[in-house]
Amino acid sequence: MTATENKMLLPVSFYALYILSMCLGFLCVVFVCLWSGTWRGGFAWDGSFLQFNWHPVLMVTSLVVLYGNAVLLYRVPFTWSRWWCKVAHAGLLLVAIMLSLVGLSAAFDFHSANNIPHLYSLHSWTGISTVTLFIFQWCVGLGAFLLPWSPMTFRAFLKPIHAWMGMAIFVLSLISSLSGINQKLLLTLNGRNGSNTEPYTALPTEAVFANSLGVLVLIFGFVVLKIILNQEWKNPEFEQESNRPLLADAR
């Protein structure tokens, strides 16, 4: 069966939620850029707070928005084959990995340049676990599902584990993003160190804006999970694994 013949008819509710997820993802990126760019002074790569500002932008863009979209690719009824869908999924996730590594080095460099200890907070623990599991999952997925020599029985065994791990990592990304936003607000809006900002407890405009970013991230995550967990929206062809040679599926 070709991919075109297999094109699924999905209900309006699917498209409504999918468009909503695209809008929410876009808003998450706009909000995090505006927060870092406007209230936190912009961007640089010099070990200062301005270097740190890349961290939230790159982490939300890669591990929340790009990751969510890479997962949703399997539900969107494009007229492409399963093989191309897998390649797009792996490619988008590879871009997400690279951006997240740059985002992590922004935070690590900033800590080193300012003699701040590494990996002390709950946020940094969940964050480093997210990225480590993500890279591990990507490598195993590449070896098992894209390279031609992995046996069919192994693919079939791994598939539910891969899907479960993928969702767990996405949930971890949401948790890391929310805890990061909270950590940043508590550290920055403390009314100390000669900072000319109002304290977090006074709920200044920056806090309202950053809290709203957290809410947007959360709603985006719930919409993605709602789409992914709906059994009726799964593409039946994508549910079966095949051990055909690498390029045989690429029609």
Task: Indicate the length of the chain as a whole number.
Answer: 251
Angle of helix 122-141 relative to helix 152-188, nearest 10 degrees, comes to 160
60 scored as a contact of ligand HEM (CB under 6 A)? yes
Compare residues 206 and 241 and give the one whose CB is closer to ligand HEM: 206
Tokens of 55: 């961290």
Q: How far is the CB of 76 from ligand HEM (least distance, A)?
A: 24
Q: Can you point out the beta strands (E) in 32-171?
A: none
Number of chain positions touching ligand HEM (CB under 6 A): 26
Q: How far is the CB of 141 from ligand HEM (least distance, A)?
A: 19
121 scored as a contact of ligand HEM (CB under 6 A)? yes
Q: What is the 3-state secondary structure (H, E, C) of 227-240?
A: HHHCHHHCCHHHHC
107 scored as a contact of ligand HEM (CB under 6 A)? yes
* Tally of CB atoms within 10 A around 246: 11
Exactly one of 130, 169, 216, 228 binds ligand HEM (CB under 6 A); that residue is: 130
124 scored as a contact of ligand HEM (CB under 6 A)? yes
Distances (CA, A) of 219 to 65, 138, 245: 12, 25, 40
C-alpha span between 56 and 64 (Å, rounded):
11
25 scored as a contact of ligand HEM (CB under 6 A)? no
DSSP 199: P
127 scored as a contact of ligand HEM (CB under 6 A)? yes
Residues at the site binding ligand HEM, with contacts judged by CB under 6 A: 55-56, 59-60, 63, 104, 107-108, 111, 118-119, 121, 123-124, 127-128, 130-131, 173, 176-177, 180-181, 183-184, 187
